[in-house]
Amino acid sequence: MRRGFFTLAAAMILFTSSPGLAQIKIGVLSDLSGPTSDVGRPYADGVRHCVEHLNKQGGIAGQKIELLQVDYAYNVQQAIAAYNRFKGQGIVALQGWGTADTEALVRFVARDEIPTYSASYSAHLTDPKTAPYNFFIAADYTTQARAALQYFHDNWTEDRPIKLGLLYPNHPYGLAPIPGIKAFAQELGFELVGEDNVGLGDMDATSQLLRMQRLAPDYVWVGGTISSTAVILKDAQKIGMKAKFITNIWGSDEQLLKLAGPAVNGHYGLHTSAVYGADVPGMKVIEELTGGRHQNIHYIRGFASMYTMAEAIRVAAEQGKITGPAIRDASRTLRDFDPLGLTPPISFFEEDHRPNMTVYLYQLFEDRMELVAEQELERRPEWLGH
């Protein structure tokens, strides 16, 4: 009995004190319980499942990836605390989340040389002059909107300018792409008929929509998130509005289809990734990982974000060692990298962190999101950061 105990103790000591395999530590800032948790959870699942997949395949350069995840509840202070904890634990890269925290950490990650792949697609995070260690894998918010304008402009058949309306929350996220949209609409010869605010938490948008209806726009850009977009679409249907609504990346997903029901039919959603079940190589991997359970579109982007970061880490490992600056430099060498067909090909450059200029336009129906077009814009230098 006693011998058995000592053998067990010795084995435990050996087991715990053995050096083990080196691990690549990556911090993940997730909102699992805060105001953006409805989309934060699937995104975080995507990141986690991607790491599971990579580790099953032997990790990167023989090293397993270890995720250190913190639920920061969309609170900047908690994000900074979590970041500092990650740093102490020796992370080499960070998977970030929202705009508020990504921006609050821009200087921190630059100072500590920790590459960050976030889910905030604010255009100014693409300018390496101000955000040298920030990356993301989707076209930025302004580029997404510009792509929609370009698509509708190219497919317009009537002999009059397109009338455009704008509905967005009076919130940093809602306001960020507005100047860029206005400028490009003017360039393409759109007629901007009016703009109004619908808050992210508003339960009614009838008065704004009645005002908008009088201006008879052909298209209305909606810059909110799912709940406010559902309110807008349902109220628009109620008052019999004819305009087509264009929702941005956080304004439409499978949840919106349920929330808005028939009111969603025929409107447009801008996205930068495939939907679950699409015929791309990555979907087989995801279906296997999730046991065939349907995952929403944010999950796919979470997966693609981690997959792209892993590729940068792989390149860094190939070239020497896995450090923050090496991963950043490796990210900048990616050229038309294809994350298993889940997003358009991704390239980063030393002076331009825009991953691509491609946006998918989906038409929304209550039972599906149907890919209508893959709109590509030219990579104009003056759009960098705006």
Partner 1 sequence: MRGKCGLFHTSYASETRFFQTGFQKLSLGVFLALLLCSPFFLSNYQVSMLNMINIAVIGAVALNLLTGCCGQISLGHGAFIGVGAYTTGLCTLAGWPFFAALLFGGLVTAVVGMLFGIPSLRLKGIYLAIATLAAQLILSYVFLHWESVTGGSIGMGLDAPVILGMSLDNDAKMFYLTFGVAAASVLLVANILRTRHGRAFVAIRDFHQSAESVGVNLFAYKLQAFAVSSFLAGIAGGLWAHYTMYITPEQFDIMLSIQYLAMIIIGGLGSVLGSIFGAVFVTLLPEFLGALAQLAGSFFPNISMYFLALREGIFGLILVLFLIFEPEGLAHRWRLIKAYWKLYPFAH
Is residue 171 a contact residue for partner 1 (CB under 8 A)? yes
Is residue 130 a contact residue for partner 1 (CB under 8 A)? yes
Beta pairing partners, 195 = 166
Q: Name which of 32 and 315 has its Cβ closer to partner 1.
A: 32
Q: Distance of CA 384 to CAs 8, 19, 139, 352, Å? A: 61, 46, 11, 7
Q: Which of 6, 8, 170, 371 binds partner 1 (CB under 8 A)?
A: 170
Q: CA 342 to CA 356: how far, in whole Å?
A: 13
Q: Name which of 100 and 188 has its Cβ closer to partner 1.
A: 100
- Tokens 């009614």 locate to 204
Q: What is the side-by-side strand order in the sheet with 134-135?
A: 64-71, 23-30, 93-95, 116-117, 134-135
Is residue 183 a contact residue for partner 1 (CB under 8 A)? no
Q: Which of 24, 28, 29, 32 binds partner 1 (CB under 8 A)?
A: 32
Q: Name which of 153 and 171 has its Cβ closer to partner 1.
A: 171
Q: Which of 36, 95, 99, 331 binds partner 1 (CB under 8 A)?
A: 99
Beta pairing partners, 199 = none
Is residue 105 a contact residue for partner 1 (CB under 8 A)? yes
Q: Can you tell me whether residue 71 is helix, strand or coil?
A: strand
Going residue by residue from 69 to 98, which x/- string records binding to partner 1, judged by CB under 8 A?
-xx-x-xxxx-xxx-xx-xx----------
Q: Name which of 111 and 160 has its Cβ closer to partner 1.
A: 111
Q: What is the side-by-side strand order in the sheet with 358-365?
A: 191-197, 163-168, 219-222, 244-247, 268-271, 358-365, 368-376
Pick the stretch among 30-38, 145-153, 235-243, 253-261 that binds partner 1 (CB under 8 A). Answer: 30-38
Is residue 106 a contact residue for partner 1 (CB under 8 A)? yes
Pick the stretch among 165-173, 184-192, 291-299, 327-335 that binds partner 1 (CB under 8 A). Answer: 165-173
Minimum Å distance from CB 86 to partner 1? 8
Give ∠ CA 332-354-122 in degrees, rounded to 5: 125
Residue type, 357: M
Q: Name which of 74 and 276 has its Cβ closer to partner 1.
A: 74
Going residue by residue from 36 to 55, which x/- string records binding to partner 1, judged by CB under 8 A?
-x------------------
Pick the stretch among 32-40, 53-61, 210-218, 338-346 that binds partner 1 (CB under 8 A). Answer: 32-40
Minimum Å distance from CB 155 to partner 1? 30
Whether the CB-CB separation of 303 and 342 falls below 8 Å is answered with yes
| 219-222 and 268-271 beta bridge pairing | unpaired
DSSP symbols for 301-365: HHHHHHHHHHHHHHHHHHHS---HHHHHHHHTT--SB-STTSSS-B--BTTB----SEEEEEEEE
Q: CA 153 to CA 103: how far, in whole Å?
A: 33
Q: What is the contact surface with partner 1 in residues (CB under 8 A)?
A: 32-34, 37, 70-71, 73, 75-78, 80-82, 84-85, 87-88, 99-100, 103-108, 111, 122, 124, 130, 170-173, 175-176
